[in-house]
């Protein structure tokens, strides 16, 4: 009987060795404690327009007829070779968009506010009271690795945080490494790499906390994930049930 208990204990020990400690599943449990600071000021980085972005540009004026030619229509979109389902201006590889009446307008490397100011200036000969709204409508990021719903996410917001992106991906799995989330960023022809520790309360101050267009997030697995795949327990578990059942039967017969 003691051998049976020893055998059972061995299998339970192997099984529980692959469990993930509670502390590794909790975010923001390291570093300085959160404090309530009324009116705390922080800066949000502005989105910089890149090639292949799609811009929605709305031009308004008291004279609606005068403003109409400067607003993209489905027919104009089709002639530009874009999908009819997205009414916007595609930023071409040369960094320009084809804008009605004005022709080619350079927008790459500018913020949406700078593009708005540029268009207002260029439209003054046509509209003296132009009100323009510019925004990127295909903000895209990719989330890979130990998340519940990996893939590419397209959003219509200009300010997206790492927490919002992971939320869209269904959050990390139990085996996601919260200490070492990798952000891959391409900007002006160069590639940058950032690491975020989601356990650390200082993550909110990281330059990678706010994401940029086309960022890639990779969540690597923790060591316990490998244990669940490679452990002898997983390979022997089906046989363990048979062995334990047989041993129990033998003991009950020989009593």
The pTM assigned to this predicted structure is 0.67
pLDDT digits (tens, 9 = 90+) for 61-92: 998 888 999 887 544 444 444 443 457 899 99
Same domain, 118 and 166: no
Please write the tens of the pLDDT for every residue from 131-146: 999 999 888 999 999 9
Task: Tell me how many domains the chain contains.
Answer: 2
Q: Is 186 helix (H, G, I), strand (E, B) or coil?
A: strand
Q: What is the CATH number of the domain that holds 118?
A: 3.30.1950.10
**Is the Cβ–Cβ distance between 130 and 61 less than 8 Å?**
yes
Among 11-20, 98-107, 165-174, where is mean pLDDT lowest? 11-20
- Shared-domain flag, residues 71 and 117: yes
The pLDDT > 70 percentage for the chain reads: 65
| Domain annotation covers residue 214 | yes
Residues 198 and 146 in one domain: yes
**CATH number (domain holding residue 173):** 3.10.560.10
**pLDDT-derived band at 167, boundaries 50, 70, 90:** very high
Q: Pick the more confident residue, 94 or 6.
A: 94
124 lies in the same domain as 189: no
Residue 176: inside a domain:
yes
- Structural domain boundaries, residue 131: 54-136
Picking from 115, 136, 157, the residue at the C-terminal end of a domain is 136
Strands (E) across 41-180 are located at 54-60, 89-90, 96-99, 103-106, 131-136, 139-145, 151-155, 160-161
Rounded to whole angstroms, the Cα distance separating 29 from 24 reads 9
- Does residue 89 fall inside a structural domain? yes
107-126 per-position pLDDT tens digit: 999 999 999 999 999 999 99
Q: Does 164 share its domain with 184?
A: yes
Q: pLDDT tens digits for 190-207?
A: 899 999 999 888 888 899
């Amino acid at each position: 009987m003691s051998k049976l208990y020893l055998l059972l204990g061995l299998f339970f020990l192997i099984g529980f060795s692959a469990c993930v400690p509670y502390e590794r599943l909790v975010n923001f449990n390291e570093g300085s404690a959160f404090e309530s600071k009324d009116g705390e000021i922080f800066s949000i980085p502005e989105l910089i327009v890149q090639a292949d972005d799609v811009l929605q540009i709305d031009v308004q004026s008291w004279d609606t007829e005068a403003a109409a030619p400067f607003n993209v229509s489905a027919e104009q979109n089709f002639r530009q070779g874009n999908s009819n389902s997205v009414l916007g201006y595609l930023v071409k590889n040369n960094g320009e968009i084809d804008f009605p009446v004005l022709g080619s307008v350079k927008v790459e490397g500018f913020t949406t506010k700078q593009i708005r100011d540029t268009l207002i200036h260029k439209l003054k000969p046509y509209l003296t009271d132009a009100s323009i709204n510019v925004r990127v409508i295909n903000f895209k990021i990719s989330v890979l690795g130990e998340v519940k719903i990996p893939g590419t996410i397209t959003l219509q917001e200009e300010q997206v945080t790492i927490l919002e992106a992971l939320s869209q991906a269904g959050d990390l799995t139990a085996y996601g490494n919260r200490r070492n989330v990798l952000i891959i960023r391409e900007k002006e022809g160069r590639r940058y790499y950032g690491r975020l520790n989601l356990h650390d309360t200082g993550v909110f101050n990281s330059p990678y906390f706010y994401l940029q267009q086309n960022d890639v997030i990779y969540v690597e697995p923790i060591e316990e994930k490998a244990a669940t795949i490679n452990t002898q327990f997983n390979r022997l578990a089906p046989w363990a049930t048979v062995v334990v059942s047989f041993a129990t039967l033998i003991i009950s017969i020989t009593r």
